[in-house]
Amino acid sequence: QKEVEQNSGPLSVPEGAIASLNCTYSDRGSQSFFWYRQYSGKSPELIMFIYSNGDKEDGRFTAQLNKASQYVSLLIRDSQPSDSATYLCAVNDYNQGGKLIFGQGTELSVKP
């Protein structure tokens, strides 16, 4: 059973700090990695995706991928209370193209 693991949290950080969210996956054949943000009562929305080893930056968000260690992380710099949400890591199932496997999500709380 292919798995994507995340700490459920809650992860609590003060406003302005860096929030670090981590995800590990079991399928070495995975090639595409996604981070979704889900506010309470809302549906998930895509915020970052990464395909290659290394870092990918988009504004205050940085996705990091290490395929050798099978982990992907999301850094949120200068965290804001509006970043408080559940963050879902998703990894593609290479053998069933287009199908994503989701982690259970990490709840982030940014305290003013």
Partner 1 sequence: DVKVTQSSRYLVKRTGEKVFLECVQDMDHENMFWYRQDPGLGLRLIYFSYDVKMKEKGDIPEGYSVSREKKERFSLILESASTNQTSMYLCASSFSVTNEKLFFGSGTQLSVL
Residues lying near partner 1 in the complex (CB under 8 A) are found at 32, 34, 36, 42-46, 49, 88, 90, 92, 96-100, 102-105
Tell me if residue 50 falls in helix, strand or coil. Answer: strand
Q: Which is nearer to partner 1, 47 or 76 (CB)?
A: 47
Q: How far is the CB of 112 from partner 1 (least distance, A)?
A: 26
Nearer to partner 1, 45 or 57 (CB): 45
Whether the CB-CB separation of 106 and 87 falls below 8 Å is answered with yes
State the minimum distance, in angstroms, from the CB of residue 74 to partner 1.
16
**Which of residues 49 and 71 has its CB atom nearest to partner 1 in the complex?**
49
- Separation in Å, CA 44 to CA 9, 48, 95, 104: 18, 12, 24, 12
Shortest Å distance, C-beta 46 to partner 1: 6
Q: What residues form DSSP beta bridges with 34?
A: 49, 90
- Residue 102 is inside which H or E element, if any? strand 100-102
